Structure 1
Amino acid sequence: METKKVLQWNTRMSALYALGVWTMVGSYFYFKYTGKYDDLEPPTPKPEAKNPNEVVYQTAHTNSVIIYKKDFVPFTTRIMNFIESFTGGAAPGDRGNGK
C-alpha cells in the first residue's frame, strides 16, 4: 500500500474508534442521569410451592418455574465420580460432602 492510503485508513479507524468510545461514555452517563438502570433486585423464589421439587421465580416481567428431578445428580458430580472410578478416588473421610 501507499503511505498516503495507510494514513487515510489510520485516520478513518481513529475516527471510528473515537465515535464508539464517546457513544459508550455518553450512554453510560445518560442512563445514570435518567436512573433507568439503577441497581435492580435479583428475582427471589416464592416460598409457596405445591411440589417441594418446584421453585418459582417471579419478577415484574417474567414468571419462571424450575422443577428439579427427585434424585438429580449434577453433571459435575457425575464427571468427578467417573474420573474417580479410574483413580480410586479419595478416602471417604477426605471428601467435602462426607461420602
Structure 2
Amino acid sequence: MSGRKLRLAVWNARAALLYSLGGWTILGGMLHYTKNRGDGFEDKSEPQTKPGPRQEIYRTETAFGFTVTTIVTHREDEPPITRLLRRVKSYFFPDDSPPSKN
C-alpha cells in the first residue's frame, strides 16, 4: 500500500511542476511582450510626438426639452497587455458586424 502512495505523491509532484512551469512561462512571455514591443525609438522629451486624446461630443434633445450631452474620449495609447488581450479575444470571437459610422 505504501508503494501506491509513493507513486501517487511522485505523480502529484510532477503534475504540480508541469502546471507551475506552464504558468510562469505564460506570465514571463506576457511580460517580455509588453516590455519589448519593438516600436522603435521614441523621444520622450518632445511632447508633440504624442497626440492628445480625441473627443467626440454628441448632443441629443429629449421629448421634455432636456439636452443630453455625451462626450466620448478616444485615447491613442493603451497598455500593451490590453492590445494583446484584445488580439487574443478577436481570434476566438471574431467580430463579423459591419464597421461603425464613426
TM range (shorter): 0.3 to 0.5
Higher relative contact order (CA 8 A, sep 6+): 2
- TM-score of the superposition, structure 2-length normalised? 0.35
